[in-house]
Amino acid sequence: MSAIDELFQRLKSEGKKAFMPFVTAGDPSLDFTAAILKRLDAEGCHLAELGIPYSDPIADGPVIQASYTRSLQGGTRLSGIFEMASEVTSEISMPVVTMVSYAIIYRMGIDEYLQQAIAAGISGAIVPDMPVDESDELAAKCKALDFSLIQLITPTTPRDRAVQIAEQTTGFIYYVSITGITGERTELPADLADNLKWLKSVTDLPICVGFGISKLEHVEVLKPVADGLIVGSAIVRRIAAATNDQSKNQDVMDDVGGFAQEMLSAIND
Amino acid sequence: MTSHFLPEPSPDASLPDEKGRFGEFGGRFVPETLIAALDQLETEYYQSRKDPAFQAELDVLLRDFVGRPSPLYFAKRLTEHCGGAQIWFKREDLNHTGAHKINSTLGQALLTMRMGKKRVIAETGAGQHGVATATACAHFGIPCVIYMGEEDIRRQQPNVQSMKMLGAEICPVTTGSRTLRDAVNQAMRDWMSSVADTHYILGSVVGPHPFPLIVRDYQAVIGRETIQQSQERFGRLPDAVVACVGGGSNAAGMFYPFVAETDVPLVGVEAGGESDQPGRHASSLTFGKPGVLHGSFSYVLQDEDGQTDDVHSASAGLDYPGVGPEHSHWKSTGRVEYRSCRDDEALAAFDLVARNEGILPALETSHAIAKGMEVAKERGKDEVVVICLSGRGDKDAGEIQRLKNEAAARRT
């Protein structure tokens, strides 16, 4: 059983939902990323998504794109990210998964990537540009290592295909709330709750919802039908105010920590 | 104009397979959100290929609107200058809108309507694909948005003006290197949100399956006509065929019908930029490695971490860090030889063709001409080398003058 399976089993027995923040590795520095991960863990967040910066992200809106650009311009390398992660994961209790382009995994080599990620204490991967049809090799290798491969289902996914994706997924299903790229939205689609109810009826995996989620109202809608909520841009936007001088980032840390606390209490009040 | 000319397709000519792979290359590395649209496009495309009414409509447009067949022209003075094989130009520059791009945009616009989609988006580098898309959309009355990098907007102004006059909306792309690669990213992001009612008319044989297949097939009219015209003129096939490769659409269209004709050497020409150093060229096949970019597995210029390298070429249309997956397959099987051509070689070829033939070739095309002359010099006088003259160079006049002034300033 992976760390993620254990997490959701525990939450289920406690009748709780997961709050899962996303942060970009190396934005603005790996020191900041380490500090904010520890802070989010201390606030009680359940799982962190660590975004591996990529030069050509297709699924991301302007906020996350800009964070990737800042990180890469600051000289972030994969080796540094794994180094930082291995230090942090030993000190925190929430599992960490990477959001990573297949371009990056392929260049390093699937085996090497998995080995380094696992050595760094990382529990799984979300690979947003690898649809289920291309994922056989990666899925088999992840399974053999008990490393979760979290696949995405979207509003444009036909239902028979959604069932097939669920069968190939480990850890949890990432349900994309909207047809579009990442970024905060005022409103979520009207049929979102119904789609989630249907998906729940065909899989035993936890279902977590991401893309567009940023407001307490969203929490109210999703709480009854999702097992967890993923928030990216609303956090990355706050982190954009951070500087390379970690001693001057206390306000940003508090802003992000406070937002996480608000969302956490809305989810599990 | 028939859809299938190959009497007995070789295994190569039957690709891609059902997973959209050319050998190991190709596939679909895009977000799940786009998969249903790609499936729909694939289904509709295969159906349209078997639909005589669809094919007839496209054939009439290619004849009466584009002006096909494009001539095969003997470049007599250039041949004399080189002193080797006869050089012939396949005149795609004489197409309506001045390049090969229109062959594919008309087909894709028809597909857009067949799928019941109401809006078109496209990326453009040199602006030729943008103009050809804007033209097809104006012809059919489809609203269209063109993504174009700011740097390319600067260096290809005439095409920007044309697109606007044709009623297209231009979205300047200000991220990254502000060139073709970033325009593709931004078009893909638009499509992520608009996929239900919008078709993305991709301009090259790149991207996720089925784009490399569809664009190649629509461009294959170039190679089919070249084969027919060669039979008529020479009673045989050419002795070598040369085309430039950015994403590689004109080359794929020219080469594909020749793939089964294994006696005919095929030469693709990539942008060599200023030097072999990373960041100073755009030769993915010559200097890159297999990897993933823009939805397909193909040769790409990346660093060790999988981050896309910056690239450089004087020509906006070749200034791209990837290449179509079928070209990667042809490289790995050895069916096509790929050479790299520097900016200064291309500019010299431009001058030579302008003054000796009275033709202004596009900067992209000038790369093919430079290496085509090399190929001709390697061969005897009774041999025939066909170069795909993929586009006209009026759009480049200002940029070429600027580059010459820069070079002159460096010399003094």
Q: Please say whether the beta carbons of B285 and B327 come within 8 A.
A: yes
Question: Which residues of chain B have a Cβ shorter than 8 Å from any chain A Cβ?
Answer: 19, 27-37, 175-176, 181, 185, 188-189, 192-193, 195-196, 291-295, 297, 300, 302, 304-308
Do B127 and B275 lie in a common domain?
Answer: no
> What was the ipTM of the complex prediction?
0.97
Q: Pick from A102, A107, A151: which is nearest to B29 by CB?
A: A102
- Measured CA to CA, the distance from residue A53 to residue A70 in angstroms comes to 9
Nearest to B184 by CA among B137, B253, B121: B121
- pLDDT tens digits, one per residue of B10-35: 667 789 999 999 999 999 999 999 99
Q: In this structure, are B57 and B83 located in the same domain?
A: no
User: What pLDDT does residue B199 have?
Assistant: 98
**B15, part of any domain:** no
Residues B319, B263: one domain? yes
B375 and B259, same structural domain? Answer: yes
What is the rounded average pLDDT for all residues in chain B?
95
Which residues of chain A make contact with B179, given a CB cutoff of 8 A? none
**Backbone angles phi and psi of B29, in degrees to 5:** -115, 70
Extract the tokens encoding B20.
């959209």
Q: How many domains does chain B have?
A: 2
Who's near B358: CB < 8 A, 6+ residues apart? Answer: none
CA distance A54 to A212: 20
Nearest to B240 by CA among B372, B75, B71: B372
Closest-CA distance, B307 to chain A, in angstroms, reads 5
| Residue at which a domain ends, from B215, B230, B263 | B215
Contact at CB, A59 and B192, closer than 8 angstroms? yes
Supply the range of the domain harboring residue B182: 22-64+101-215
Comparing A137-141, B103-107, B404-408, the range with the smallest average pLDDT is B404-408
Q: What is the CATH number of the domain that holds B379?
A: 3.40.50.1100
B135 exposure class (CB count in 10 Å sphere: 0-12, 13-18, 19+): buried
Q: Where are chain A's structural domains?
A: 18-150+216-258
d(CA A242, CA A264): 23
Burial B336-373 (b: 16+ CB within 10 A, else e): bbbbbbbbebbbebbebbbeebebbbbbbbbbbbbbbb
The answer as to whether B84 is a domain residue is yes
The structure's pTM equals 0.96
pLDDT tens digits, chain A, 269 residues: what are they? 889 999 999 999 999 999 999 999 999 999 999 999 999 999 999 999 999 999 999 999 999 999 999 999 999 999 999 999 999 999 999 999 999 999 999 999 999 999 999 999 999 999 999 999 999 999 999 999 999 999 999 999 999 999 999 999 999 999 999 999 999 999 899 999 999 999 999 999 999 999 999 999 999 999 999 999 999 999 999 999 999 988 899 999 999 999 999 999 999 97
Chain B residues with CB inside 8 Å of A56's CB? 176, 181, 185, 293-294, 308
Residue B4 clears pLDDT 50, i.e. is over it: no
Q: Which helix (H) or strand (E) holds B290?
A: strand B289-293
Identify which of B29, B195, B291 has the shortest CB distance to residue A107.
Answer: B291
Q: In terms of Cα–Cα distance, which of B391, B376, B70, B77 is closest to B240?
A: B376
- The crossing angle, in degrees rounded to 10, of helices B128-140 and B157-165 is 10
Q: What is the pLDDT of residue B5?
A: 44
- Inspect the interface and report whether the beta carbons of A133 and B28 lie closer than 8 Å: yes
- Which residue, of B166, B188, B215, is where some domain finishes? B215
- Among residues of chain B, what percentage have pLDDT more than 70? 97
In a domain, B12, yes or no: no
Whether residues B194 and B339 fall in one domain: no
Contact call for A55 and B176, based on CB within 8 A: yes
Q: Write the pLDDT tens digit of every residue in B257-304.
A: 999 999 999 999 999 999 999 999 999 999 999 999 999 999 999 999
Active site residue B331: no
CA atoms of B227 and B214, how far apart (whole Å): 21
pLDDT band at B7 (very low <50, low <70, confident <90, very high): very low
Beta strands in B75-213 (DSSP E): 86-91, 119-124, 144-149, 169-173, 198-200
Closest CA to A221 of A263, A262, A195, A192: A192
- B57 and B200 part of one domain: yes
In a domain, B284, yes or no: yes
pLDDT value, residue B11: 66
Chain B: give the shortest CA distance to residue A269, in Å: 33
Q: What angle do CA B141, B145, B147 make, to 5 degrees?
A: 150
Determine the distance in angstroms separating the CA of B298 from the nearest CA of chain A, rounded to an integer.
11
Mark yes or no for CB contact B32/A131 under 8 Å. Answer: yes
A60 is catalytic: yes
Residues B313, B380, single domain; the answer is: yes
Contact B3, B55 (CB under 8 A): yes
**Interval B218-246 mean pLDDT:** 98
- Of B215, B235, B265, the residue that ends a domain is B215
Contact yes or no for A157 and B36 at CB 8 A:
yes
Give the C-alpha separation, B217 to B106, whole Å: 12
Whether B6 shows a pLDDT value over 60: the answer reads no
Contact between B30 and A134 using a beta-carbon 8 Å cutoff = no
SS3 assignment, position A262 = helix
**B356 and B252 co-located in one domain:** yes
Q: Give residue A114's pLDDT.
A: 98
Nearest chain B alpha carbon to A154? B33
B13 assigned to some structural domain: no
Q: Are B94 and B105 within one domain? A: no
A102: closest CA of chain B, how far (Å): 7
β-pairing, B266-273 vs B336-342, is: parallel
pLDDT single digits (tens) A205-263: 999 999 999 999 999 999 999 999 999 999 999 999 999 988 899 999 999 999 999 99
Q: Is residue B56 domain-resident?
A: yes
In a domain, B391, yes or no: yes
* Best to test chain B binding among A72, A82, A99, A107 (most B CBs inside 10 Å): A107
Q: Between A and B, how many residue pairs show a Cβ–Cβ distance under 8 A?
A: 115
Statement to judge: residues B269 and B379 lie in one domain: yes
Cβ–Cβ gap A105/B291 under 8 Å:
no
* Segment 80-139 of chain A within 8 Å of chain B by CB: 101-108, 128-134
Q: Are the C-beta atoms of residues B287 and B336 closer than 8 Å to each other?
A: no
Clarify whether residues B247 and B347 are in a common domain: yes
Nearest CA to A153 among A143, A145, A163? A163
Q: How far is CA A124 from CA A92, B76, B196, B282, in A?
A: 16, 64, 31, 35
CATH number of A18-150+216-258: 3.20.20.70
Distance from CA of A101 to the nearest CA of B (A): 9
One domain, residues B299 and B392: yes
Does residue B6 lie within any of the structural domains? no
Q: What is residue A107's three-state secondary structure? A: helix
